[in-house]
Structures are given as structure tokens and as C-alpha cells.
Structure 1
Amino acid sequence: MAEEIGGPVLCGEATGAYIFYPPVARLVSGTFPNVRLIAVLRDPIERALSHYHHNRRHRPEDEPLSFVEAVRAEDERVAEDERKLSQDALYEAPDLKKYSYIRRGLYHEQIQRWMEYFDRDQLLVLHSQDLRSEPDAVLSETFDFLGLGDVQIPNTEPRHVGSYEHSMDPS
């Protein structure tokens, strides 16, 4: 393919799931040991609330609890999926996907897991707030990390933005 386009090929993949699921770092390292990794981290509380409201908006039958109740129930709701995932790296873990409101924001342990398989210079950690407030600077840093030089992006306006009430039920 590189010969067809006259140079090297750069491919990317974007998902918040890879950093979270324990087996993924090992699986990726076996296939792409020299990969460049970018983690865009969101405020963990904002992330948890957004995840909760996404579930309520798109699958209300799956999330009947208040946010506070859902956080309190998280350990019990995901325990079986975590057990199965520890035995089968390819298990899809539907309850872990739905109800991991707090776990997905535990970035330190997630990044540590990736550092078991990759060198620190293979990982760029960005903060979503910086990406929102200074998109050009963050994109410049990202392109430099990827070895792309100066790339101009014509439109850095946010897309796929959801909205919800930020207050929490005190129960």
C-alpha cells in the first residue's frame, strides 16, 4: 500500500475502551510493539456523569438507578464481568461496559497497565479540557508526537456534543 500512495502509511484508531480493558495492552503490544499511543483523559467526574446520562438517554431500561445509586452499585454490577474477563481476554463484558462509571476514570492504574508493555515515550497523555480550550496547540503537540510535522486542520469545532443536567441527586 505504501508504494501505491508514494510513501509510508499512518493509520489510527480511536476508542475510549482500549485504555480501560485490562487485556488490551498486552494484545496490542503483541501485534503493534512500536505503536504510538495517545490517551485523551477527561475529568473523571464529568466522564462518569456523561457515561451515566448517555446510558439514561440511549438505554433507559438498562439504567433505572439515580447516579448516586448507580455509583454505589457499580462493584456489584460489574463483578461477574470482571471475573469472566480475567479468564477470557476476548469476553465482551456487557455489564462492565454499561456500568463502569467510576472504574473508567481510574486513569493512573489504566496507564500503568499500558506502561507494562510500552515505553513511556510511546505514550502521549492529553487532557480533554486542553483540547477544547487550545485545540491548535494540542493538535500541534499531537502531530509532533506522531512525527507528522505541521498539519493544518481547517475545522476544530467540537462534534457529537451531548447535554444533560449536571446536578446530582443527593440520595
Structure 2
Amino acid sequence: MKHLRPSFFIIGERKCGTSSLYRYLVAHPQVLPCKVKEPDLFSKPWYKIALGFRNYKKLFPAVDESGNIEFIWPELDEKGQLFNETITVERQEGVNYITGEASVNTFYYANPRILNRLLPGIKIILMLREPAERAFSHYRMHERFRKEGRKSMAKTDFVTDIRLEMKKVQQGEDSLFLGPSIYMKKLPKWLNIFGRDRLFVIRSEDLQQPEKAVGIMEQLFDYLQITEFDLREMLNQRFNVAPPKQMPEDIREELQAFFAPYNQQLNEFLGLHLY
């Protein structure tokens, strides 16, 4: 059975609103979902990618398949507890469909050359978020892991652990929570492989503003070469969002100063004013 080849890939970054973006895209009448939002294949070692690629392709809808498409969606309830729900997407006859996925570990851990070789022509979507807020949200996710008895890198508390990570980065070491917010560590290699014409960058903050979000989605539909579609009502919804919590102001100021030179590099590299 032949399956649709993915046309787009939301590569990350984590805690930047990729879940909401994926749900917005899947709401478009020309977009069909992967069976799971995050197959997380390309962040693995190359030999595991080679072994798993055949099964990976089967996660996408069959070309000649009829009937509705179901996919498993991880969501957070109002208490921040994770649960899975099954979402059904109606499939119509005679529609020129595309499909894609959103494994958000990909930006930081994957080799873009391998992804481009196995999925030639695929279009990349990258979401960014204010770096300090992204790191804080990432840490909170690991706090939830710890409460659930899962593997967690949240050892003590945010302020203590993050200050230790800042020291590690200054010593040239990698870090779990700060590293993914230093976007210039990974962006050049992605841009080198895919170029600006196949890498669409979105600020999470813009997608949270309905009027800006409308324009972003219009540009994204054009980038993916699918028809215009009005998503205004859905753009007010957020998916997989933890209950709100404020970052301590003193550590926020420290982090903003820490990220400032990296943000300047990012802005100069892209010719944009992002952060």
C-alpha cells in the first residue's frame, strides 16, 4: 500500500506552540494528519532511522484510502495532567491532500542532511519563542515528569538548576533547558541544507495574537501551496498548554541578559528583529 509522503515537517522547537500549530494545519481541508503527532524518528541515531523508516512511512495516510482518518493526540487537562485523545479528520474524495508531522526534538537533535535525503522536497516549519520563557516552560514540563514518576532532569528548583546551567554553558558545555533556546546553535545547519525558501520561521508570540495569526496562517498556506482557509475561530484555541505560572522576576532578568548576545546573533543572521 502506497502512503502519502509528508510535505511539511514542524521540526520544533519544544514548548513553542507546535501543538497548536499542528492542530490549526490539520483543520485545513487539504491536510491529513500523521497517526501520531511526534513519531520522533529523525532525532535518533542514523542506524535506527534506517531501520525505522519503512514503518515511519506507514504512519501517514494511504494514497487511495477512503473514510475518516484517526490520529492520537496528547493533551494536557486543566490540572496539567497528560492524557491521549483520538481525533477524527474527515477525508473527502477528489481532494489533493498533503500530510506532515511535528516531532519537536528534530530541530535540536536531528541531522538535517539525513532528513532532506530521505524526504526530498519536504518543507520545514520552525517555531521560536522568547528564549527565557521557552526554557521556563521546558523546565516546568520536567517538573510534571517528576511528579508523574517519569524520567526528569528537574533536580531541585528552576532558579537553582538554571543558574547551574548558565555556568555550564559559559564553560562550553551543553545544557538541557538553555541549549534549545540558543537557536543559533542549530539554525545555520538547517538553513544551509534547506535554504530560506524551504524553512518557514514563526514566532510563538505572534501566533498567540489572533489578528497576526490570521496573516501567518495565510502565508503558511501559501508556503505549503494549499488553498486559503478561514481559521479565525480556531485560532483562539490553544492545545497542550500547561496551567499558567509566572517566572520569578530576578531569574527572568538574569536569563534575558544571558540570552541577549545570542538573540542579537539570531536577528543579524536572519535579518529580522525577533527577540
Query: Which TM class, normalised by the smaller chain length?
Result: 0.7 to 0.9
Query: Equivalent residue for 2:188?
Result: 112
Query: Equivalent residue for 1:87?
Result: none
User: Are the aligned partners of 1:33 and 1:118 in contact in 2 as well (CA < 8 Å)?
Assistant: no
Offset of residue 109 of structure 1: 2.7
Query: Equivalent residue for 2:134?
Result: 47
User: Are the aligned partners of 1:48 and 1:105 in contact in 2 as well (CA < 8 Å)?
Assistant: yes
Name the aligned partner's letter for residue 147 of structure 1. Q
Name the aligned partner's letter for residue 245 of structure 2. Y
User: Are the aligned partners of 1:143 and 1:150 in contact in 2 as well (CA < 8 Å)?
Assistant: yes
Q: Which deviates the most, 2-11 or 121-130? A: 2-11
> Which residue, 247, 261, 272 being the options, matches 1:166?
247
Equivalent residues in 2 for 1:1-171, closer than 5 Å: 1-2=62-63, 5-6=93-94, 8-21=96-109, 23-60=110-147, 62=152, 63-74=154-165, 75=168, 100-133=176-209, 134-153=212-231, 154-156=233-235, 157-162=237-242, 163-167=244-248
Offset of residue 6 of structure 1: 3.5
Distance in 2 separating the partners of 1:3 and 1:159: 30
Question: Could you list the runs of 4 or more consecutive aligned residues of structure 1 that deviate by over 3 angstroms after TM superposition?
Answer: 1-9, 72-76
User: Are the aligned partners of 1:40 and 1:127 in contact in 2 as well (CA < 8 Å)?
Assistant: yes
Distance in 2 separating the partners of 1:116 and 1:137: 27
Distance in 2 separating the partners of 1:122 and 1:147: 12
Aligned length: 149
User: Are the aligned partners of 1:53 and 1:164 in contact in 2 as well (CA < 8 Å)?
Assistant: no
Q: Show structure 1 runs of 5+ residues with no match.
A: 83-98
Instruction: Specify which structure has the bigger relative contact order, considering alpha-carbon pairs within 8 angstroms and separated by 6 or more residues.
Output: 1
Query: Relative to 1, partners in 2 of residues 1:57 and 1:164: Cα closer, same or farther, differing over 3 Å?
Result: farther
User: Are the aligned partners of 1:67 and 1:169 in contact in 2 as well (CA < 8 Å)?
Assistant: no
Identity %: 26
Name the aligned partner's letter for residue 234 of structure 2. N
SS at match of 2:98: coil
Q: Show structure 2 runs of 5+ residues with no match.
A: 1-61, 66-92, 252-275
SS at match of 1:34: coil
